[in-house]
Structure 1
Amino acid sequence: MPPHLQIELEYEDEELARLDKRLANAQRNKKRGQSVQQVVNTAGGFKRLLLPAPQAPRRRKKSLIQQVQIWLARLGLAVVFCIMAGVVFWWQLSASLHPSLQL
């Protein structure tokens, strides 16, 4: 074989060995990355098992009848509180006008 072809063949062999080495390193790094990712996913899975599952808020729009019922209930409470305040105010006023009614 001519010397220049022998030199070219040796150079190609060295280049092939270098590329094989790079490929082996890349495969090792990929495998290591997959292992790390698997550990992270497993740890995340255990952590998710310990935490309560997040519940999305399920708020539906109330119907018109429900809204009216809510407002009537609020109005009823307001009326009851106003009546109570009126009774207390009337009792205080009548007690000051008629000392015999005081406790």
Structure 2
Amino acid sequence: MPAIKPSLAALAACGLAGCVVARAGPMPGTPEFAAARVSRAYDCGVGVDRGRIIAGFPKEDRARFIAANASYAVKSYKAPRRCETGERAELQRELRAGPRR
């Protein structure tokens, strides 16, 4: 049984490492995060005013948003289309609030 303990310890460490590692995707507050949320909103059928969102960013971040949004638009063809009511409402709130820093 002593050989099992190191294996369990290794598995536990791997599991904990998974909890500590940040989720994949852009950090909140970045143009890339906003682009990801806009893309998901399109997937959910939520109306999006991209012009207003772009205008909410400083000039130096607008190009980053546009590039990221184009990248996500290509990926969204394979994205799940189903959205729950709660997710749709959350997206609408986020998009009304605009980009945050």
**TM-score of the superposition, structure 2-length normalised?**
0.28
Higher helix share: 1
The structure having more radius of gyration, on CA atoms, is 1
